Amino acid sequence: MLILTVNGVDRSSYVKWDTLQKTEVLTKEVDRMEFQIVKTPNRSSIPDVSDEVVLTEDGSKVFGGVVIERNEVIKGGLLLGYEIRCKDFSHYLDRKVVTKAYGSATARSIVLDIIATFTSGFTTTNVLTSTPIVGSIKFNYEQPTRCLTQLADQIGWDWYVDYDRDIHFFDEESTPSPFDLDDTSGKFQWDSLEINKSLLQLKNSVYVRGGEYKKTIAQADAYDKYEASAGQSTFGLAFKYDNITVLKNGVVQVIGTDQQSDPATVDVLYNFNEKFVKFTNALSGGDAVIVFGDAYIPIIAQARDTVSIATYGEYQTALVDKSITSVNEAQTRARAELKKYSESVYEATFKTTQTGLRVGQNITLTSVIRNITKTFKINRIVGKTRTGSEMEYTVYMIASGQITFTDIMVNLLGQDKKNIVIATNEVLQRLELLSETITVADAATGTARARPYLWGLLVTVLSTTNYFLLKEDSGKLLQENGDKLISSTVTDSEINAESFKWNFSTWN
């Protein structure tokens, strides 16, 4: 039986069940659910954005998340309908961004720190206790979901947040499904099983080009050793150096900064960014030049799967990520890529009404008819309601890594952040938007005074003194003489005079 609640209240009777669909995806994308509601007089509490929605099937929670869209549509006449779209609780996970670097730490400790420091309301019960050690990893203003994905990719693991807001961080090969597939068990619709095999994404030789790491190079191990030609003054260097030392024929030289120091005061000008030293005076042929110090060495690592290479031939690829700051980190990333992509890609799908399957689980297919025994990882489940009490699931599985359009877009959008260099002494300029209410009241007091003028319909002036005829009811006029009012009768011609029509006024 299916039950849908909104903010803890059962709204199952509201749902148009044949429109409900939920999509559960591993790691790279969020889980989503959508359904429709038709508004009637007894359905007044329509779900709104930010409401929490939970769907259970036979007592088991199969979705939990937040309403992120509510679209109002006309279903006919005056009948209103609503299209409701929900996103899983990772919507709350990404409220803040992560700016932190980790070195020589277990993956578990990194996950726990990210969740504790940059999120709230989430638990880490299903983060495995024993996890690999990560040499180093850095996050530059990344959302927590993206950080967890990068961390999982580096060690070849996976993760997701369940419908109880608990983080699952696990080895891809350690989570079995509640049942396996074979020719006789009847756990799936027999004619729905499809298996595809492809070499399009095969990678069995991986180069990783990271950032740079600093290494102190002594004079005895110096790589930058040169013998000058006659008149030569400039020497390109293999590395950038801090604490640089330059020897000419064994004598330490006075070093200045190129484009800044006065050449007359130093022996050598050093350009850090362009990686060269320039002597202020040309050298003689045969002069020995040695340069050493704290060198910034580019990180380059390669990993190869010899078994895959022997089977398919060598397929190389390269990853460039300047946020990688140690050789160990680069090697770990290369091995993780091989683990995902060094075998041909097996993809399979099937349909079932069985419950209990979750993304990240491993399910084994054993089929004599198809001549295959292989373990797949469930990476997507799409559920649609058949009735108001049962769902049908389309399950997607892979037996190796797979690059999706989502991967491509996320990597493109995240490249700029990887190039940011965050200093330990950065100062945050924070702008807080505040609102406040101000109430202003005003009062005015009026004082009656004698009128400076008389207002009315002027008919005629009776004399040279200040007399005026003002219209009253029934053709009567009031004649004002100082404080004295005298009634008088006027003719129609006088009432129709222009001054009468235009309501003129005059001063008293």
DSSP per position, 135-179: EEEEEEEE-HHHHHHHHHHHHTEEEEE-TTSEEEEEETTS-B-S-
At residue 340, the pLDDT reads: 74
At residue 116, the pLDDT reads: 95
Whether 358 is covered by a domain: the verdict is: no
Q: Is 181 or 137 the better-scoring residue by pLDDT?
A: 181
pLDDT class of 431 with cuts at 50, 70, 90: low
Domain boundary among 43, 60, 88: 88
Decide the pairing of beta strands 2-6 and 484-489: unpaired
Task: Give the containing element (helix H, strand E) for 221.
Answer: none
Residue-wise pLDDT for 229-277, tens only, equals: 999 999 999 999 999 999 999 999 999 999 899 999 999 999 998 999 9
At residue 199, the pLDDT reads: 80
Q: Do you know the residue count of the chain?
A: 508
pTM above 0.85, yes or no: no
User: What count of other Cβ atoms lies within 10 Å of the Cβ of residue 353?
Assistant: 13
Whether 131 is covered by a domain: the verdict is: no
At residue 483, the pLDDT reads: 41
Whether 29 is covered by a domain: the verdict is: yes
Instruction: Of 133, 46, 143, give the one whose Cα is nearest residue 92.
Output: 143
Q: Any idea what the CATH number is for the domain that residue 8 is in? A: 2.30.300.10
Phi, psi of 47 (to 5 degrees): -55, 140
At residue 342, the pLDDT reads: 80
At residue 403, the pLDDT reads: 47
Whether 378 is covered by a domain: the verdict is: no
Residue 2 · residue 55 · CB < 8 Å: yes
Whole-angstrom Cα distance, residue 378 to residue 387?
25
Helix (H, G, I), strand (E, B) or coil at 242: strand
Residue 64 · residue 32 · CB < 8 Å: no
Residue-wise pLDDT for 85-128, tens only, equals: 999 998 899 899 998 888 889 999 999 999 999 999 999 999 99
Residue-wise pLDDT for 22-73, tens only, equals: 998 876 678 899 999 988 877 878 899 999 999 998 888 889 999 999 999 8
Q: Point out the least confidently predicted range of 273-277, 369-373, 490-494.
A: 490-494
Structure token digits, residue 269:
């000008």
Whether 46 is covered by a domain: the verdict is: yes
Whether 57 is covered by a domain: the verdict is: yes
Whole-angstrom Cα distance, residue 433 to residue 20?
40
Amino acid, single-letter form, for residue 228 = A
Overall average pLDDT of the 190-194 stretch: 91
Instruction: Of 169, 164, 181, 163, give the one whose Cα is nearest residue 145.
Output: 169
pLDDT class of 188 with cuts at 50, 70, 90: very high
Structure token digits, residue 136:
């180093």
At residue 334, the pLDDT reads: 84
Which range is most confident: 395-399, 451-455, 488-492? 395-399
- Residues 365-382 as b or e (16 or more Cβ within 10 Å = b): beeeeeeeeebbbbbbbb
Q: How far is it between the farthest Cα atoms of the chain?
A: 133
Please, what is the average pLDDT of the chain?
81
At residue 473, the pLDDT reads: 42
Domain boundary among 56, 88, 120: 88
> Which residues are bridge partners to 387 per DSSP?
390
Residue-wise pLDDT for 434-447, tens only, equals: 778 888 888 888 77
Residue 45 · residue 70 · CB < 8 Å: no
At residue 383, the pLDDT reads: 92
At residue 477, the pLDDT reads: 44
Whether 125 is covered by a domain: the verdict is: no
In the numeric block, the tokens 């993956």 are attached to 107
pLDDT class of 201 with cuts at 50, 70, 90: confident
In the numeric block, the tokens 């979750």 are attached to 358
Residue-wise pLDDT for 7-18, tens only, equals: 999 999 899 998
> Which residues are bridge partners to 469 per DSSP?
479
At residue 139, the pLDDT reads: 86
Whether 405 is covered by a domain: the verdict is: no
Whole-angstrom Cα distance, residue 300 to residue 321?
10
Number of compact structural domains in the chain: 2
Task: Give the containing element (helix H, strand E) for 500.
Answer: helix 498-501
Phi, psi of 287 (to 5 degrees): -60, 135
Q: Residue 480: which residues within 8 A CB-CB, separation 6 or more?
A: 454, 467, 468, 470, 508
DSSP conformation class of 417: H
Q: Which domain holds residue 496?
A: 453-507
Domain boundary among 71, 88, 105: 88
Structure token digits, residue 79:
């009948």
Whole-angstrom Cα distance, residue 395 to residue 379?
8
> Which residues are bridge partners to 120 per DSSP?
none
